[in-house]
Amino acid sequence: VAKRGGKGRHAIYAREMNADALDRLELEADMRHALDRDELLLHYQPIVDLTDGRVLGVEALVRWHHPRRGLLLPGAFVPLAEETGLITPIGRWVLAEACRQGVAWMQRRAGTAPLTLSVNVSPRQLQHGAIVEDVASALRTTGFPPALLLLELTEGIFMHSDDSTLEVLQALKALGVRLGIDDFGTGYASLRYLQRFPVDVLKIDKTFVDGLALAEEQGDSGEVALARAIVALGDTLSLRTMAEGVEATPQWEQLRRLGCTIGQGHLFGRALPPDEVAAFLELDAEPRLRLLPASAVGN
Ligand code: C2E
Ligand code: MG
Ligand code: MG
Ligand code: MG
Instruction: Give the count of beta carbons closer than 10 Å to the beta carbon of residue 218.
Output: 11
State pLDDT tens for residues 171-180: 999 999 999 9
Average pLDDT across the chain, whole number: 90
d(CA 35, CA 295): 50
60 CA distance to ligand 1 middle (Å) = 9
pLDDT value, residue 4? 55
Is the predicted pLDDT of residue 197 greater than 50, yes or no? yes
Q: What share of the chain is helix, strand, coil (3-state, %, to 5)?
A: 55, 20, 30
pLDDT value, residue 102? 96
Q: Which of 244, 232, 235 minimizes the C-alpha distance to 208?
A: 244
Is the predicted pLDDT of residue 144 greater than 50, yes or no? yes
Instruction: Give the count of beta carbons closer than 10 Å to the beta carbon of residue 17.
Output: 10
- Protein residues with CB under 6 Å of any ligand 1 atom: 45, 61-62, 73-75, 78, 87, 91, 94, 120-122, 152, 182-183, 244-247, 264-266, 271
Task: Say which DSSP state 272 is in.
Answer: B
For residue 35, the SS3 value is: coil
Q: Which ligand is nearest to the CA of 122?
A: 1
The model carries a pTM of 0.92
Is the predicted pLDDT of residue 192 greater than 50, yes or no? yes
Atom index in ligand 1 nearest the CA of residue 247 equals: 18
Cβ neighbours of residue 45 closer than 8 Å, sequence gap 6 or more: 58, 59, 61, 264, 269, 270, 271, 272
By most ligand atoms within 8 Å of CB, the mutation choice from 44, 59, 78 for ligand 1 is 78
205 CA distance to ligand 2 middle (Å) = 10
Of the listed ranges 17-26, 123-132, 147-156, 228-237, the one predicted with least confidence? 17-26
State pLDDT tens for residues 209-266: 998 877 666 666 777 888 889 999 999 999 999 999 999 999 999 999 999 999 999 9
- The residue whose CA is least distant from atom 33 of ligand 1 is 120
Q: Is the distance from CB of 133 to CB of 120 less than 8 angstroms?
A: no
d(CA 3, CA 86): 41
